[in-house]
Amino acid sequence: MKNNVNYQKTLYKTLETIKNEGKKPSLLLHVCCGPCFCVPFELFGDYFDITIMYYNPNIYPKEEYLRRKEELKHYLNLIGVKYINIIEPEYNQNDFFDTIKGHENDKEGYERCRICFRLRLTYSYQYASSHHFDYVGTVMSISRYKNAQDINEIGLELEKKFNGPRWLCADFKKNNGYEKELLICKKYNLYFQEYCGCLFSYQNYLKKQEKKV
């Protein structure tokens, strides 16, 4: 059994080092939606020169993908942030379905999800490496649906593989991160989605709703 690492403590140490160095390193931050971006940005927005990577071919349906992207832009406008660039590769759900083939029946939170994490973070790392970013990170660990240990282990593996940008370890659910996210969403009246994103999580959400009726 693997020991769980407190990746949020690792983040705080990284931020302290950056503060002492007195420079703003470049960070390619993978973002899946506006609400998940709020707490990470409040925590380290002043420490990095941030570029957002909105690569999420898993999100279903396309209308949901577009809504989450627009809500991200809406939040940035609400807080007066106009200097962050958003990289948005072409939306192609086949990127997701081809990659998870054979795992369609996996339970949520298991191997299919790890494959999805790896897909999105690998794309982000490829971009960061070719564009010479100092760090790569993701906001996904704040989600109640996602395992922070899996996300960070994949990120650290990719750091070794690409031998360039460093992985920004984090577990944003720590220190009531998820609860803070809900408060920010309420404050700004942000659209808060009720399922993780993919077709399978959407189907599970619909089944739960049917049981409530």
Q: Which tokens in the block code for residue 192?
A: 């808060």
Per-residue pLDDT reduced to its tens digit, 53-64:
999 999 999 999
Per-residue pLDDT reduced to its tens digit, 81-123:
999 999 999 999 999 999 999 999 999 999 999 999 999 999 9
Whether the per-residue pLDDT at 198 is higher than 80: the answer is: yes
Q: Looking at residues 168-181, what average pLDDT do you find?
A: 96
For residue 12, the model assigns a pLDDT of 98
CA distances from 172 to 22, 23, 100, 194 (A): 24, 23, 26, 19
Whether the per-residue pLDDT at 213 is higher than 90: the answer is: no
- pTM given for the model: 0.96
For residue 163, the model assigns a pLDDT of 84
For residue 192, the model assigns a pLDDT of 92
pLDDT band at 3 (very low <50, low <70, confident <90, very high): low
Whether the per-residue pLDDT at 175 is higher than 70: the answer is: yes
Q: Looking at residues 180-192, what average pLDDT do you find?
A: 96
Whether the per-residue pLDDT at 196 is higher than 80: the answer is: yes
Per-residue pLDDT reduced to its tens digit, 128-153:
999 999 999 999 999 988 999 999 99
pLDDT band at 1 (very low <50, low <70, confident <90, very high): very low
* Ranges assigned E (strand) in 116-186: 135-138, 166-167
Distance CA 150, CA 117 (A): 8
In this structure, are strands 166-167 and 85-87 parallel, antiparallel, or unpaired? unpaired
Distance CA 203, CA 89 (A): 26
Whether the per-residue pLDDT at 69 is higher than 90: the answer is: yes
Per-residue pLDDT reduced to its tens digit, 14-53:
999 999 999 999 999 999 999 999 999 999 999 999 999 9
Distance CA 201, CA 210 (A): 14
